[in-house]
Structure 1
Amino acid sequence: MREKGPGQRALETPRAAALAGVAFALLLAAAIVLVRLSIPGGADAVAAPGFTDPGRRDALRTALALVPFAGIFFLWFIGAVRAHVGDAEDRFLATVFLGSGLVFTAMMFGAAAAAGAVLAVAHPSGTAPAPATWDFGRHFAYTLMTGYAMRMAAVFVSSLSVIGHRLGVLPRWLTVLGVLTALALLSLSSNVPWAELVFPAWSLLISVYILVAGRRDRPRPAAAR
């Protein structure tokens, strides 16, 4: 049997990686949308609308409940992809890819924990938390997510795009899109509302491509004689 080269081996990323990437993208996008809808003003929002409206509070709680599952699927995606490209890629890019993914996950969890802490602070039902608590919690959560986590997401996107380009397993248009996504996350995530949705959108696209490529390149069974 003829042995497969590194590029061919990388194309055989298991369906689990693609499915985990799809699940992560959908869960993270849903969490971001729910947070933005429950607190439209972001870090500059006043406390009252987001905390005196039960519907918005429930939406925010739902968003925070989705984050741990998004992180689990993201780690599964990282592990499955790295297991199949790690031997074919140099240690520098493999380390940057893994490190940026782990730091992003940690920051995403930290931002969710900060937002959850604001919700959990004891205050009378139907009223907003104390201004000092709200000011610290909202700025800490949003800064951690949009200012730092999304920068790590940009490093993750760029490193995976470089790996895919060097191994020849990603088309040119997807590599270019990865570079543009990284630039958008680096420059827009802190200042432009909803810009953080670029990352789950890219993750969904790359996961669907892996899934489609895996099916297309799967060897067909020989016809029975």
Structure 2
Amino acid sequence: MEPNLERLRTPRAAGLAGIVFAVLLAAAIVLMRLAIPEGATPVGGDALSPDRRRAVRMALELVPFAGIFFLWFTGALRTQVGEREDKLVATVFLGSGLVFVATIFGAASAAGSLLEDQQPSDFGRDFAYTLLTTYSMRMAAVFIFATSTIGRQLGMIPRPMVLIGYAAGLVLLFAGPGFPWSEMVFPAWSAMIGVHLLRVPMRSRPQPEEKV
């Protein structure tokens, strides 16, 4: 059992989870954006044609798995950091991650409500995009800030990537609904961190001494 537990503490688990999460979230966002355009056309009429309905259903199928891999990504990062983290930043890191998952699930549920009615209103679409762009992505920005700060403090993430993380967080924090597709910044950042964790091993987590 001990070798298996040790493998779960390696950066590879966090890296793989981050990359899979990025791919799933990016695919769900692209499908949703193409199937339900924000603000450009009314939802009624041909806005939810059979092809678009299939795209929405596919996106809704991907979101839960994206959330699962994001939680795995978060947990693997926390395990690797261990007791060396700043408690304040660590709390913000975990809290923002959990709120992000909750709001992304809420956005998916709101989008799913559009499939229930033959003549859906604009409310479901607007509510879904409000949760996604106003709440989910701003929690994602806080998560990026916290992760970049922890990575800088512990030397886990190189300085250029820390600066990229802060820039990505600012984009997500202030872009909001006024900049469609800006939410793609988060999966792009997650993929970047995932690839880095796969390529560059982090410090080993200090293990408690065994009592004789």
Query: Is TM-score (shorter-chain normalized) higher than 0.5?
Result: yes
Query: Would you identify which runs of 4 or more consecutive aligned residues in structure 1 move more than 6 Å?
Result: none
Q: Give the Cα separation in 2 of the matches to 1:164 and 1:46.
A: 44
**What is the aligned partner in structure 2 of residue 76 from structure 1?**
72
**What is the aligned partner in structure 2 of residue 8 from structure 1?**
none
1:160/1:217 CA distance change after superposition, 3 Å: closer
- C-alpha RMSD of the superposition: 1.7
* 1:164 shift after superposition: 0.3
Q: Calculate the TM-score normalised by the size of structure 2.
A: 0.87
Contact 2:134 2:176 in 1 (8 A): yes
Q: Give the Cα separation in 1 of the matches to 2:140 and 2:97.
A: 7
* 1:14 shift after superposition: 3.4
**What is the aligned partner in structure 2 of residue 90 from structure 1?**
86
Q: Calculate the TM-score normalised by the size of structure 1.
A: 0.82
**What is the aligned partner in structure 2 of residue 182 from structure 1?**
169
Among residues 95, 102, 107, which one is paired with 1:106 in the alignment? 102
**What is the aligned partner in structure 2 of residue 165 from structure 1?**
152
Q: Show the 5 A alignment for 1:130-141.
A: 134-141=121-128
1:102/1:43 CA distance change after superposition, 3 Å: farther
Deviations 1:115-153 (A, max 9, x none): 1122123x3xxxx32xxxx22211111101101110000
Contact 2:111 2:125 in 1 (8 A): yes
Q: For residue 193 of structure 1, give the secondary structure of its aligned residue in structure 2.
A: coil
- The structure with the larger Rg is 1
One-letter identity of the residue aligned with 1:65: E
1:105/1:158 CA distance change after superposition, 3 Å: same
**What is the aligned partner in structure 1 of residue 207 from structure 2?**
none
2:31 aligned with 1:34, yes or no? yes
**What is the aligned partner in structure 2 of residue 7 from structure 1?**
none
Paired-residue identity, %? 56
* 1:43 shift after superposition: 4.3
